Structure 1
């Protein structure tokens, strides 16, 4: 029998698969409901235009957790990313923190294209905690996430599949359910250009129904179980697909690695 998730680790406050994954079928949420979620804004090469394109999760006052694919690329530089915290409104309000550096997991893309799609990001200046800005709680190392568990995505991503003009102006959330990892892997292997689902991933959606999911612009954001961060939005086939659930990085595979970087550097 699967071991149910009953514990969590709080980090110390002092110490064809779409690349930019995706909230479909969501409802409006407040930042006070999810004070550990932040926007990751991307800039043009000149640093003159900024727009939210990913999300991240507050680990402590100097570190956030996100998806590695949000912090890579031929033109990537830390100066072309920044964090907006403390606001439910996309690209507006809250506070801005700039990035010192990212630490993408060393096994990212080794076993599979999106395996170990996780990064710890250090900020130049610390967060100032408030009711709208709080550190999150992450799942303990090697916790087993059972099938059929009710989980939540939150973010500012597109609300219509394939239409980047539908990025949500406000924070949305949606309830979905975890899907058996082996079943998810088998389904993805039927695609002409399949993505490979590993043990370091969590699949979640409304299986054989569809209609709810994270979507483009939600990458790096949270998959919550009772406000415990169990997943980081990573990849999938389309959005809210009834056959192919969305896939998040399984945080429990990397908790010790995360704690080592965010609390010791």
Structure 2
């Protein structure tokens, strides 16, 4: 297991699957198993659709991927979160986005480095057995290789934009950062740089299990602790190129300072 001296973010506020998406090989799950997990929806062409995922930090803030909250056409007015629902596009509770705080290092040192954001909501979340705050890794924590970890989300199930109606989860394994970097450097086009602020996870040289389109911003769990935020990858469930996640331990202090 990762040696976790976990930081439970209990801040009381006011009291590739490159581009905006990214479960393949998964099984049905229920939101009560992952109560901090939310859907991120965007309003486009008169329709709300599930674009990414996120994680409840406290009653007013959600943790997600920066690439889900940026771009020339991004507007917080057309983004909202759905909490407390097992099913895509239905049930649960809706909270609208007030403002996003993308990490200042996002996309600076390397494409998709710093791909993490804290999002402020327009009104407080109400907790229940299906809605609760996340526990995230402590700052600077070391991530060990080849430990079992879990993705959860509503993303694509076959790599061809076929999202499920029900929440899914899947177990994969952490992959040595240097080995992952060597693999990605064989690609000619970005994003292909693995930094120390990233965690690679998959089933190396086998494939078949991964996060995919629509899972971006969602969690990579070690037990009940979020150690990564789903970010990008070369295709989905690729045997050679594992999925890539923002390493929460690189940003925990910033998250805690921002989500207040």
Separation in 2, partners of 1:232, 1:6: 17
**Shift in Å, 1:103:** 0.2
Matching residue of 2:194: 197
Q: Structure 1 residues 34, 17: CA separation in 2 closer, same or farther (over 3 Å shift)?
A: closer
Separation in 2, partners of 1:40, 1:21: 11
Contact 1:20 1:218 in 2 (8 A): no
User: Which consecutive residues of structure 2, in runs of 5 or more, have no partner in the other structure?
Assistant: none
Which secondary structure state, in structure 1, belongs to the residue aligned with residue 33 of structure 2? coil
**Shift in Å, 1:4:** 3.6
Matching residue of 2:249: 252
Cα-to-partner distance string for 1:202-259 (whole Å, 9 max, x where unaligned) = 0000000000000000000000000101000000000000000000000000000000
Matching residue of 2:110: 112
Contact 1:21 1:236 in 2 (8 A): no
Separation in 1, partners of 2:173, 2:85: 27
**TM-score scaled by structure 1?**
0.95
User: Which portions of structure 1, spanning 4 or more consecutive aligned residues, are displaced by more than 3 angstroms?
Assistant: none
User: Which consecutive residues of structure 1, in runs of 5 or more, have no partner in the other structure?
Assistant: none
Contact 2:157 2:164 in 1 (8 A): yes
Matching residue of 1:140: 138
Matching residue of 2:92: 94
Cα-to-partner distance string for 1:40-62 (whole Å, 9 max, x where unaligned) = 001116xx310111000000000
Cα-to-partner distance string for 1:71-122 (whole Å, 9 max, x where unaligned) = 0111100011100000010000000000110000001011101100000000
- 1:219 aligned onto 2:225: no
Count of equivalent residues = 257
Separation in 2, partners of 1:171, 1:17: 19
Q: Structure 1 residues 217, 17: CA separation in 2 closer, same or farther (over 3 Å shift)?
A: closer
**Shift in Å, 1:124:** 0.4
Separation in 2, partners of 1:83, 1:17: 21
The two structures, once aligned, show a CA RMSD in angstroms of: 1.2
Contact 1:31 1:87 in 2 (8 A): yes
Contact 1:154 1:223 in 2 (8 A): yes
